[in-house]
Structure 1
Amino acid sequence: MTRQELGIGTDLLRVEDVKVSFPLATGQVDALKGVDLRVLPGKITALVGESGSGKSVLGQTIMGLQPSFARVSGKVLLADAAAPGGQRELLGLPRDGRLIRSVRGAKIGMIFQEPMTSFSALHTIGNQISEALRIHEPVSAKEQRERSEEMLSLVGFTKPGRVFDMYPFELSGGMRQRAMIAMALICSPQLLIADEPTTALDVTIQAQILTLLRDLQQRLGMAILLITHDLGVVANVTDEVVVLYQGRIMESGPVEDIFRRPQHPYLKGLMAAIPHFGMKQGERLRPLRDIQIDRDKLISAIGAAKPVAQAAAPQVLLSVRNLSKTYQTRDQAWDIRKSAKPAPAVDGVSFDIKRGECLGLVGESGCGKTTVSKILMRAVTPDAGSVSYDDGSGPVDVLNAKGDDLQRLRTQIQMVFQDPVSSLSPRMTVGNILSEPLDIHRRGTSAQRRETVEALLGAIGLGQSARHRYPHSFSGGQRQRVGIARALALAPGLIVCDEPVSALDVSVQAQILNLLKDLQKDLGLTYLFISHNLAVVDYMADRVAVMWAGRIVEIAARETIMNAPVHPYTKALLAAVPYPDLDRRLDFATFNGNTALTSANWAQAFRASADNADDLAPLDLGDGHFVLARKSADVGELKA
């Protein structure tokens, strides 16, 4: 890209020939290989690419947050009227001190990819958001709280005062991401670097956040560098697109040209790898690179148990009945009068998972999806309810299992966690992480365990050299793949997948989804697939359960949910999906309100009566289609 094309003198941010390399014991890694891009004032520029392509490294380098041992060259110029020539060169600033702090937070804000590791666990959300105000603006403690609560309200919290006093671990993944966005925007920066800002968010909250970012950008004249792998988000909000691959820019230009007239084969491949609605039964995604695995070797290596004879195996593998779980906040625990009734995180949830199927569980952040998964894994004890698991060897009470039954359950039910950073030990190599389950359950000899680890690394598309590396040396998407491999190590009968591909770019996502489907067929696996990406759920699931405010509001076959939903919340979810299609843009005016309050606008048949909160019950609409509605509701009217 030439200097004329960069528009020198008119850009808010200009990156010129930036190179970043990391010296490692095994050799030098070139993360960026001469990157040029621009961000125009008041515009949104998307930086798109696969996991490990250098997107996050570029964002960190602009902020001066790259590791101290990184070798950096080139220029990063920020428009600044107070600087000589109207531009400030950022790479020449010291990594700490007054000069760089005058840029970070005040002029450039950043939303980080991993909200849990970006927050201090020892400080409240409000303390960390107001800290930016204390550093950059002389405001009183009262005004700090007022402005922080106002920003928390803007990003979708209905009770910002309560969230202000909470700690990060008390919020779900999506809620932490919203708090991170509030912290980045609190000082109204000129430029916002958003590194995967909606990765952890469900589609309705994602639509709200995108609406918020667009509104703030227009109101403040703020520019945004949006780092993302979600081409649906790119198509709906950006003005310009830059496509990055292995540290080099493959293609860049206005969003209209990129989507309607893509030129580079890499960009065309990215678009073909995206799961979309209406895919035919058995149709596969087309990743840029297929994972080449010896399926027989993999199945043999992980020691898949012989399938139980169909005559002896019950159709239902996992049966969940009336699960309930309520958490008390600190204020409620100290409330002697008990004036505030705690809201249940899970409220009377019931469903079955049939052998060999994939049940998709979707809903907003904070609706209780992850709490349900933790109850199934015995990581959380419910207040009420029962869970029964039967792989053909006899039913086991999951919540009360002990001894040999518990040991068998530990091998039969595995989990892929939402946050790949906190779920992998930073003190263990990847090889040790993958062999740990085999060691604990005494599977095979040392040589057999090594063979299993090699097969698992091949199955997730990582080379054998990854065995000796630590999690911090991998990108977010690569760490998530390690988590998936660990869950497969013991050849379980049921895998609980809590947002298993949320951290993956579209190409690697396509690889992993194809792999999960292949393993489901070859190993007879059963999945509970929790996700906020409805297109992914449409590709993976046989049946779909929709959850809102701790309750399942609709459950049916995938085709029914996607094509003929009945509950208004299900319809709202589908309407919020961002398509990678310029002709099917989101109606952002629809998402100005908070979806937690939209139940007030639902038809009366879907709302509990004021004098009877227990008036709602699952109504059978036929063919396994159930919807939460008033017991007195007419089934024919609901379908209409």
Structure 2
Amino acid sequence: MVASADLLRVEDLAISFAIMGGAIHAVKRANLRILPGKVTALVGESGSGKSVIGQAIMGILPRSARARGRILFSDPESPGETADILQMPPDGREIRGIRGRRIGKIFQEPMTSLSPLHTIGNQVGEVLKIHTTLSAEECRERTEGMLALVGFPNPRRAYDMYPFELSGGLRQRAMIAMALICHPALLIADEPTTALDVTIQAQILLLLRELQANLNMAMLLITHDLGVVANVADEVVVIYHGEIMEAGPVDAIFRRPTHPYLKGLMAAVPHFDMKPGERLKALREVPVNVENLLGKKKPKKGTDVLLSVRNLTKSFSIRQSDWSFGEVATVRAVDCVSFDIRRGECLGLVGESGSGKTTVSKLLMRAVTPDQGSVVFNDSDSPIDVLSATGSALRKLRTKIQMVFQDPVSSLSPRMTVQNILSEPLEIHGRGDAQTRLASVSALMRAIGLDQHFVNRYPHSFSGGQRQRIGIARALALGPDLLICDEPVSALDVSVQAQILNLLKDLQKELGLTYLFISHNLAVVDYMADRIAVMCGGRIVELAPREALMGNPIHPYTRALLAAIPFPDLDRPLDLGMLRKNGASDTATWGPQFRDDGEEGVLAHTDIGDGHFLLARRSADAKELLPC
């Protein structure tokens, strides 16, 4: 029998998947409990079995799965009764009465979890139609009420909108509304904030905390982010390769960790207290060997500035209505952006989703044409005008600037082997013959710490961290001077993230590389960057050396970004009461000296000393930098 104190108890749960040549044991005799009204965090790396346990509790394991053990659910609606979810037929009436009504789930990626063909109201209201006898009018009323509860500014309008019309944060709120519409006793949140930037993540965490308390609901939070765990969880369960390593109250887990795996996870998280030169402690280090790599020991000639960007501007036209006859509006995605990247340095570019960071990277790579501005690449031979280069100049430029993309799954062709992927840049630019290209591929594999026997494998057979290393190797194939890294670790868990960040640092040191490192995570940028530029609404609002920006942020937007970062430290909790519901970019909360509201006094970049630049109103004694 289940103790009355437990809402759900997992006992000796073992889950395996049948594959060619044997079976994969994803979960091995796992035991955990979830208390009523409490948040239990299930923590571990990708592939540790977290999501499989969540699927088992929901009764949605794939047909190839074999599960043994017990999952005992004590529904508060049926006092004294206990149901074993594993014994229920996966499509039977009993499990369908629990799934979606008494146990709700938020999935990791809202865009792929929501139907693109149905409105938000249809999808949220469908749960009520399945589990209740409410009329259509009552369903709409309750759905709009739930959309308001989860933070939609205009629930009536949102009801008739499609997922593609919503931002990432609002899509996640729609998923939360769908999971909570029937007021379940247990909510399973599977990586609910992984795809979101820090300010939206903080808003979602605040929302979940408030809803969990107001509805007296238990929550199983599946995550790899220890900062999120420290700010939300009451109990913590640590899982590794399908086995529970450690479990207990959050205070005991964080203050007195005993298992080496948990200590390793904590050491892999970048934090603001790291000393200069201190490295992240990855659970599995990546050996770096660049001895025979193309581009090593390049001479550093010419000016100290490698890339000079001036007044870069790009606008996009959008239609105001759903169909083709609506009015056209213009959105300025990049607004008079200027910065320099010095040789051998890492310039961090941070900001919320939609701030214009990725658009800047596309403009620098010539994937998008700007409306105005200039970009000059100071090659060791002669400067190259990036925006007007053609023919052989453009071809040469392509070898000098390369990009590491955010998503290693979609940026690598599933139809090409690793050897084809790494040799393709060499073939395109006519570097060497087949034999020398094969030697270059071997050198690239050694440089990223992958076994050379893997060259004939396809991307799907690698883990997320290994795929990202392959993406880095492809970017290094032509021996570039500048790497543009667009959110290269945002899709990775903390232990793999530490591997990739250390690898990038080692490659920078060994090859003399220069980085433009784009991210929404200031803790990651703090570890990687020498200087940091902060973007908001298409403009750089603050630019400073790393120590100055982190130690003395001045712009309200920068301060809001820093305040939204969850620390894996119980003594430094998020101030959830101070978080802005409209995000860090809500200019209404900024002082008049930082707000562009059409009043007298134009915003301009001013130098406040020691290379610290700020977008603020022009003052008589301020030294201007690149006014727009």
TM-score normalized by the length of structure 2: 0.88
Structure ranking higher in helix proportion: 1
Name 2:305's counterpart in structure 1.
Answer: 315
Contact 2:312–2:370 (CA under 8 A) maintained in structure 1: no
1:413 aligns with 2:401: yes
Among 308, 311, 316, the residue aligned to 1:326: 316
By how many angstroms is 1:315 displaced? 1.8
Question: Quick one: structure 1 residues 457 and 79, their matched pair in 2 at CA, closer, same or farther if it must change by over 3 Å?
Answer: farther
By how many angstroms is 1:252 displaced? 0.7
Among 67, 73, 91, the residue aligned to 1:72: 67
Q: Match for 1:617: what amino acid?
A: A
Question: Quick one: structure 1 residues 541 and 91, their matched pair in 2 at CA, closer, same or farther if it must change by over 3 Å?
Answer: same
Name 2:8's counterpart in structure 1.
Answer: 13
Cα deviation 1:528-579 (Å, max 9, x = unaligned): 2122221111110111111122221111111111001111111121122211
Name 1:618's counterpart in structure 2.
Answer: 605
Name 2:558's counterpart in structure 1.
Answer: 570
Name 2:483's counterpart in structure 1.
Answer: 495
Point out the more displaced range, 103-112 or 473-482. 473-482
Q: Match for 2:57: what amino acid?
A: I
Distance 1:500 1:564 in 2: 27
By how many angstroms is 1:366 displaced? 2.2
Root mean square deviation of aligned Cα: 3.3
Contact 2:413–2:459 (CA under 8 A) maintained in structure 1: yes
Among 274, 299, 304, the residue aligned to 2:295: 304
By how many angstroms is 1:112 displaced? 2.6
Name 2:254's counterpart in structure 1.
Answer: 259
Distance 1:376 1:441 in 2: 20
Q: What SS does structure 1 have at the residue aligned with 2:87?
A: coil
1:234 aligns with 2:229: yes
Distance 1:481 1:274 in 2: 19
Question: Quick one: structure 1 residues 19 and 548, their matched pair in 2 at CA, closer, same or farther if it must change by over 3 Å?
Answer: same
Q: What SS does structure 2 have at the residue aligned with 1:233?
A: helix
1:55 aligns with 2:43: no
Question: Quick one: structure 1 residues 72 and 331, their matched pair in 2 at CA, closer, same or farther if it must change by over 3 Å?
Answer: same
Distance 2:127 2:430 in 1: 51
Distance 2:158 2:474 in 1: 34
What are the residue-to-residue correspondences of 1:18-167 with 2, within 5 Å?
18-25=13-20, 27-80=22-75, 86-96=81-91, 99-123=94-118, 127-138=122-133, 158=153
Question: Quick one: structure 1 residues 306 and 459, their matched pair in 2 at CA, closer, same or farther if it must change by over 3 Å?
Answer: closer
Among 486, 499, 502, the residue aligned to 1:511: 499
Contact 2:534–2:540 (CA under 8 A) maintained in structure 1: yes
Name 1:219's counterpart in structure 2.
Answer: 214
Distance 1:462 1:149 in 2: 51
Question: Quick one: structure 1 residues 310 and 468, their matched pair in 2 at CA, closer, same or farther if it must change by over 3 Å?
Answer: closer
Distance 1:466 1:100 in 2: 43
Distance 1:342 1:593 in 2: 26
Point out the more displaced range, 189-198 or 250-259. 189-198
Cα deviation 1:233-255 (Å, max 9, x = unaligned): 11111001111111111111000
Question: Quick one: structure 1 residues 603 and 137, their matched pair in 2 at CA, closer, same or farther if it must change by over 3 Å?
Answer: same
Distance 1:213 1:620 in 2: 41
Name 1:288's counterpart in structure 2.
Answer: 283
By how many angstroms is 1:633 displaced? 7.5
Name 1:199's counterpart in structure 2.
Answer: 194
Contact 2:51–2:190 (CA under 8 A) maintained in structure 1: yes
Distance 2:534 2:192 in 1: 24
By how many angstroms is 1:326 displaced? 3.0
Question: Quick one: structure 1 residues 128 and 497, their matched pair in 2 at CA, closer, same or farther if it must change by over 3 Å?
Answer: farther
Distance 1:633 1:269 in 2: 52
Among 549, 560, 583, the residue aligned to 2:548: 560
TM-score normalized by the length of structure 1: 0.87
Distance 1:156 1:404 in 2: 53
Q: What SS does structure 2 have at the residue aligned with 1:405?
A: helix
Question: Quick one: structure 1 residues 123 and 432, their matched pair in 2 at CA, closer, same or farther if it must change by over 3 Å?
Answer: farther
Question: Quick one: structure 1 residues 175 and 315, their matched pair in 2 at CA, closer, same or farther if it must change by over 3 Å?
Answer: farther
Question: Quick one: structure 1 residues 109 and 426, their matched pair in 2 at CA, closer, same or farther if it must change by over 3 Å?
Answer: farther
Among 579, 589, 599, the residue aligned to 1:601: 589
By how many angstroms is 1:124 displaced? 5.1
What are the residue-to-residue correspondences of 1:524-603 with 2, within 5 Å?
524-591=512-579, 593-595=581-583, 598-603=586-591
Distance 1:357 1:249 in 2: 42
1:357 aligns with 2:345: yes
Point out the more displaced range, 401-410 or 534-543. 401-410
Distance 2:391 2:171 in 1: 37
Structure 2 segments unaligned to the other structure (5+ residues)? 624-628
Q: What SS does structure 2 have at the residue aligned with 1:501?
A: coil
- What percent of counterpart residues are identical? 64
